[in-house]
């Protein structure tokens, strides 16, 4: 299933605690060899980014100093609704609050096409882009984009998903994806116990094998659940090939469930893949709190499935943090300045290229009914009025969510 070795990330806790501080009179060099005086340059840390985007306005001086267009290119609208609902508007908001004019940034989506994603990058560069923020559909197109960008003197930030095997590789902004998987595994273990699943016969599903993140997620949850298989406490029924297409995930599940009707617990890598499987089980009149299932991305449907008792939990990744981190990093690069170490709080090793990539690694959180009100609802990631509509009103009330 895995098409390449695992990418390793190393997280360094930044010592700075202030949301925004000012640099002293220093001069430092980036990994590309450029150097610029950074006296009085604002510094942001990974703790700077909040739901109110207050750090962005402090970076207006960088926007004023910088040159060129910044283009953010997202991959698709199928693998997760997040790109349309959250990444695009959050990136746009971050650019605007940081002081960039509409003519100075682009946010667009490749709609699942490698050719389109490459064409968007080339077009942005022809229009004067000096920095690209790219979430590559796969490493193949990512390598093409980075080679083209390097040839034109344009810096590239890998956003959410790392391009493997490229050289040079500039920067990476994401959540700690192995930790995402660990949270899925830990939530699954807790749910199996809470739902009193006797003799768990587990189907372990994966995201697309072409996506490095899917490999990292699986590394995380495998590390948690494998001991249960080795001990004989649980039985591993199967591991389908993996996909990020919900309809394909449903087909994979149906094939396995038809052949193994004893399946009574399923590790699913995100909410989008879990949703059609849950609908299918509901059509078979499987009652709630019977077959544990996991998720990621805190989608509206995923959260409602949690409230209804068909999904154990979901990994919440505050995308407003990721969008702000990417924009902040882009502004330093656009201004020709070395990004502060307080922002670059980790590194990522690419075993294909052998490079170690300076990274911003953010922290995910496992969400259940117990903390839904304090996380996704408080952040307005999913409005309570939508979450608690209709039949979900009572479950919301029980979870302390006020619509």
CATH number at residue 261: 3.40.50.2300
**342 and 375 part of one domain:** no
In a domain, 271, yes or no: yes
Q: What is the pLDDT of residues 301-331, one digit of tens each?
A: 999 999 999 999 999 999 999 999 999 999 9
**171 and 181 part of one domain:** no
Can you tell me the distance from the alpha carbon of 49 to that of 56, in angstroms, rounded to the nearest whole number?
Answer: 8
**208 and 141 part of one domain:** no
In a domain, 3, yes or no: no
In a domain, 50, yes or no: yes
Which pLDDT band holds residue 167 (cuts at 50, 70, 90)?
confident
pLDDT of residue 78: 84
**332 and 297 part of one domain:** no
172 beta partners: 158, 359
Range of the domain at 329: 8-175+318-362
**229 and 297 part of one domain:** yes
Q: What is the pLDDT of residues 256-292, one digit of tens each?
A: 999 999 999 999 999 999 999 999 999 999 999 999 9
Please count the structural domains in the chain. 2
Which pLDDT band holds residue 14 (cuts at 50, 70, 90)?
very low
**216 and 332 part of one domain:** no
Which single residue is written with the structure tokens 């979450």?
387
188 beta partners: none
Average pLDDT over residues 89-118: 98
Which pLDDT band holds residue 388 (cuts at 50, 70, 90)?
very high
In a domain, 2, yes or no: no
Which pLDDT band holds residue 92 (cuts at 50, 70, 90)?
very high
Strands 346-349 and 8-11: antiparallel
**233 and 335 part of one domain:** no
Which pLDDT band holds residue 29 (cuts at 50, 70, 90)?
very low
Q: pTM for the whole thing?
A: 0.79
**93 and 56 part of one domain:** yes
**135 and 15 part of one domain:** yes
pLDDT of residue 210: 84
Cα Rg for the chain, rounded, in angstroms? 22
Cβ–Cβ < 8 Å for 73, 144: no
Q: What is the pLDDT of residues 224-266, one digit of tens each?
A: 999 999 999 999 999 999 999 999 999 999 999 999 999 999 9
Cβ–Cβ < 8 Å for 70, 334: yes
pLDDT of residue 8: 58
Pick the closest to residue 157 from 287, 279, 40, 323 (CA basis).
323
**140 and 266 part of one domain:** no
In a domain, 403, yes or no: no
**126 and 255 part of one domain:** no
Question: What six digits make up the tokens of 34?
Answer: 């450029």
**235 and 373 part of one domain:** yes
Please state, rounded to an integer, the average pLDDT across all residues of the chain: 90
């Amino acid at each position: 299933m895995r098409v390449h070795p695992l990418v390793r990330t190393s997280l360094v806790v930044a010592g700075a605690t202030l949301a925004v501080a000012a640099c002293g009179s220093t001069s430092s060099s980036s990994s590309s060899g450029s150097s610029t005086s950074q006296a009085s340059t604002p510094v942001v840390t990974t703790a700077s980014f909040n739901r109110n985007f207050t750090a962005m306005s402090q970076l207006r001086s960088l926007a004023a100093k910088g040159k060129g267009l910044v283009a953010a290119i997202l991959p698709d609208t199928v693998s997760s609704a997040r790109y349309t609902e959250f990444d695009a508007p959050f990136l746009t908001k971050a650019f605007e609050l940081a002081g960039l004019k509409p003519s100075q940034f682009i946010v667009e989506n490749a709609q699942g096409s490698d050719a389109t994603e490459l064409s968007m990058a080339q077009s942005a560069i022809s229009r004067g882009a000096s920095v690209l923020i790219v979430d590559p559909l796969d490493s193949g197109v990512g390598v093409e984009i980075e080679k083209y960008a390097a040839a034109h003197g344009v810096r590239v930030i890998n956003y959410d998903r790392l391009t493997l095997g490229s050289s040079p590789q500039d920067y990476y902004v994401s959540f700690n994806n192995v930790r995402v998987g660990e949270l899925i595994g830990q939530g699954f273990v807790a749910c199996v116990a809470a739902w009193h699943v006797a003799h768990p016969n587990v189907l372990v599903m994966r995201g697309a094998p072409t996506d490095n993140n899917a490999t990292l997620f699986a590394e995380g949850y495998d590390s948690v659940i494998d001991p249960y298989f080795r001990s004989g406490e649980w039985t591993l029924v199967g591991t389908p090939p993996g996909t990020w297409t919900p309809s394909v995930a449903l087909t994979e599940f149906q094939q396995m469930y038809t052949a193994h009707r004893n399946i009574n617990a399923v590790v699913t890598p995100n909410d989008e893949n879990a949703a059609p499987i849950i609908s299918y089980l509901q059509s078979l009149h499987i009652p709630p709190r019977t077959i544990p299932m996991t998720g990621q991305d805190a989608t509206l449907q995923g959260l409602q499935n949690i409230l209804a008792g068909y999904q154990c939990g979901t990994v919440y990744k505050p995308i407003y943090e990721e969008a702000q981190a990417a924009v902040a990093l882009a502004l330093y690069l656009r201004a020709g300045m070395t990004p502060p170490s307080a922002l670059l709080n980790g590194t990522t090793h690419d075993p294909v290229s052998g490079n170690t990539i300076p990274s911003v690694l953010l922290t995910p959180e496992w969400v259940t009914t117990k903390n839904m009100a304090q996380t996704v609802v408080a952040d307005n990631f999913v409005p309570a009025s939508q979450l608690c509509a209709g039949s979900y009103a009572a479950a919301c009330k029980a979870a302390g969510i006020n619509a």
